[in-house]
Amino acid sequence: MIKDTIVCGAQNAPHRSLYHALGLTKEEQERPLIAVVSSYNEIVPGHMNIDKIVDAVKLGVAMAGGTPIVFPAIAVCDGIAMGHEGMKYSLVTRDLIADSTEAMIRAHGFDGVVMVPNCDKNVPGLLMAAARVNIPTIFVSGGPMLAGRVNGKKTSLSSMFEAVGAFNAGKIDEKQLTICEENTCPTCGSCSGMYTANSMNCLTEVLGMGLRGNGTIPAVYSQRIELAKHAGMQVMELVRKNIRPRDIMTAAAIRNALTADMALGCSTNSMLHLPAIANECGVDFDLDMANGISAVTPNLCHLAPAGPTYMEDLNEAGGVYAVLKELTKLDLLDTSVLTCTGKTLAENLEGVINKDETVIRPVENPYSATGGIAVLKGNLAMDGGVVKRSAVLPEMLVHEGPAKVFECEEDAQAAINAGKIVAGDVVVIRYEGPKGGPGMREMLNPTSAIMGMGLGNSVALITDGRFSGATRGACIGHVSPEAASGGVIGVVRDGDIISIDIPNNKLELKISDEELAERMANFVPRKKELSGYLKRYAALVSSGAKGAILNV
């Protein structure tokens, strides 16, 4: 046991005295010490129930012969941080979470870990930490929120943001806006569509790091408490067998996750987080992999915001495992991979069925023959840009129009609210990338305003920033190189024609090569005065095309 190096022998009597100060008995000290990393707080709705999950995990660990010890991880609510300075502090927390968790685990000699995250950045941050420390680890999330009910229809947070756009356009009144506000988010949990948090919790199952149901059992279901107890018990089995994260999160498992991502129609943020996780696992991840996998992977789910179904519906249909079972029909997964159950994926999928083909379409009748995410390239995005293809209206899959250029999200939002964006336009928001923002803010406010104002079938948006999983429409993010790094997006001018061809993975600025070369030769990227953590982050962060990992 790792803890023996700080517990056993006369030389470690001082350490044991400090354990006694914690109230740990001699018997508890002799058992494997299991870290329970809790992201519980009182500001993120997806985390307000995690204290109960943690209590259940602790009970499960103790039942199986371990000693659970809790320490915290931070989390930002992207919904609350959206549309203001706070969003610059969202993505950057992924690395703070990974670093601080690594430090706590290494400093205290734990034998195993149960990670208890839920929302956008602390799921990938903790997966990164798990790969770094590489001791037996299992995940159990706080679970998704139930869908809201407005005017007799299910709804979720993306509809709330679009309602603001509808209000600004005079399509609904303040009374209807208030009805939406009070009924859209009815329970605790990660917001109820296939947004980033739920995407990553589902992909944690696919990676083999969470038990069945980790991504889909609603936060308020008692089944979630049972799952947490089982996770606590199962980590002890992983400790006994010495099964570690890098035994599970192999190149094959990461490829499985990318395949499932395409079938589920996950958030574009997965194209930041999967490369970052792969990097910690020592696995090469080329963004071009996405299009190759997408080309052969059918899109089977249209969960909100892409369609009218929600996480609770996916859960009832059989959850992530039912989606994986469908994909095995086309031999798209490596089912020999090891998982946190101690069994292979093939063994885990035995007996699994798709219980609702209106929620999880069979592979014989997909929403599309290709996956939910596409990487676009061209002179405007030499290293790539990412779009949630499954959430784009058919008429916007191919679009060409004049650019309306903005240097930040706030300026774009003001123009949209003022009615300055018209049908056919391509909104360009730059200097919002990992370095340029810094922090690569999500653009849910402008994208939702465009949809809410009825322009979703005629206006596209391009940014070197990123999007919430709640974004839908012809919205292309992660454009790399970003403006702050000298990317072509930095020389786009108002009125330039931009061509978007999602089926053929193309994104082009329609000016001559000579004109582009002249603009680039005279281009000096803008610089911002920064301080504190954002200054350090901007100095170290890589391109969005590489997962916005820190170059250290």
Look up residue 511 and give its DSSP letter.
S
Burial (CB count <10 Å: 0-12, 13-18, 19+), residue 153: exposed
Give residue for tokens 């000016």: 511
Structure tokens of 370? 């290709």
Distance between CA atoms of 103 and 116, rounded to whole angstroms?
Answer: 17
> Omega before 481 cis (within 30°)?
yes
Distance between CA atoms of 474 and 425, rounded to whole angstroms?
Answer: 11
β-strand partners of 153: 150
Distance between CA atoms of 332 and 516, rounded to whole angstroms?
Answer: 41
Distance between CA atoms of 246 and 244, rounded to whole angstroms?
Answer: 6
Task: State the CB neighbour count (10 A cutoff) for residue 349.
Answer: 18
Burial (CB count <10 Å: 0-12, 13-18, 19+), residue 533: middle
Active-site annotation holder among 141, 468, 485, 543:
468
**CA–CA distances in Å: residue 167 to residues 180, 303, 412:** 11, 24, 18
Spatial contact of 145 and 188, defined as CB atoms under 8 Å apart = yes
Active site residue 468: yes
**CA–CA distances in Å: residue 490 to residues 208, 338, 464, 480, 542:** 40, 45, 9, 11, 17
Distance between CA atoms of 456 and 37, rounded to whole angstroms?
Answer: 41
- The strand ranges marked E within 147-280 are 148-150, 153-155
Q: Which residues are catalytic?
A: 468
